[in-house]
């Protein structure tokens, strides 16, 4: 366990992700966050918990911020930690820590501002009702996940 985070996933740095010096390309850190958040959403069980309500909306990235602290290199294992930092009216902030899977050293942080979008119209909509309650449970460290 890592303080402040309830979920992590691990994956290896692949050859296609590195440059000539065997260092991970900077753009790949956002891909790592995307892999981690996809697995995090599945881990939360939100789809099973909310069903059709959840099917009408989806979170789209509005802003991404990466702080590169130490590069990953070929052969490293990335451990990506995920949490919600804040829930607003129609958006939320997701925080990621990308750590070395062996040493635990922090290599990068990623913050994503994501907006709740009504899929049929493509317009931002408020996070409300069961979706808000579910996300607030995750934010407060009490995930009401479906096993």
pLDDT digits (tens, 9 = 90+) for 86-143: 999 999 999 999 999 999 999 999 999 999 999 999 999 999 888 899 899 988 875 5
pLDDT digits (tens, 9 = 90+) for 2-61: 888 999 999 999 999 999 999 999 999 999 999 999 999 999 988 777 777 677 888 999
Domain ranges (residues) in the chain = 7-139
**pLDDT confidence of residue 103:** 97
Evaluate if residue 147 carries a pLDDT over 60. no
Overall pTM > 0.85? yes
HEC profile for the chain?
A: CECCECEEEEEECCHHHECCCCEECCCHHHHHHHHHHHHHHHHHCHHHHHCHHHHCEEEEEEEEEEEECCCCECCCEEEEEEEEEEECCCEEEEEEEEEECCCCCEEEEEEEEEEEEECCCCEECCCCHHHHHHHHHHHCCCCCCCC
Its CATH class, for the domain covering 7-139, is alpha beta
């Amino acid at each position: 366990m890592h303080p402040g985070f309830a979920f992590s996933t691990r994956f290896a740095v692949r050859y296609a992700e590195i440059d000539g010096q065997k260092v991970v390309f900077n753009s790949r850190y956002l891909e790592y966050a995307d892999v981690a958040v996809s697995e995090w959403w599945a881990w939360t069980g939100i789809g099973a918990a909310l069903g059709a309500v959840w099917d009408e909306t989806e979170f789209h990235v509005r802003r991404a911020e990466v702080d590169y602290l130490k590069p990953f290199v070929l052969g490293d294992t990335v451990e990506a930690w995920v949490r919600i930092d804040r829930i607003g009216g129609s958006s939320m902030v997701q925080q990621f820590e990308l750590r070395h899977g062996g040493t635990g050293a922090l290599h990068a942080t990623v913050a994503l501002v994501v907006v709740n979008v009504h899929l049929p119209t493509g317009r931002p909509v408020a996070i409300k009702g069961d979706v808000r309650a579910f996300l607030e449970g995750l934010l407060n460290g009490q995930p009401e996940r479906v096993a």
